[in-house]
Amino acid sequence: MENKVKIYTTPSCHYCSQAKEYFTENGIAFEAVDVLSDAEAMKEMKSISGGARSVPVIAVNDAVIIGFDRNAVEKALKAS
């Protein structure tokens, strides 16, 4: 199954850039949204993450990971 990845970011967040680089390097397509300029994305991020107030929030298929936790991301990718 094709992995569905969405990253919720802020512009000044280097961990967000690292997460995006990770997916690019591994050839995994992703959608990135800036929660500061996109109120809908902010709402969505909060609702799927149980109210996270920290970026990045990474949704891999049904799994939601707060922060760029490489191991958790890999696990979620493998689970698909």
Binding stretches for another protein (CB under 8 A) = 10, 12-18, 22, 35-36, 42, 49-55, 66-67, 70
Smallest distance from another protein to CB 52, Å: 5
* Dist CA 74 CA 52 (whole Å): 21
Smallest distance from another protein to CB 2, Å: 23
Spatial CA neighbour of 42 closest among 30, 25, 54, 24? 54
Smallest distance from another protein to CB 69, Å: 10
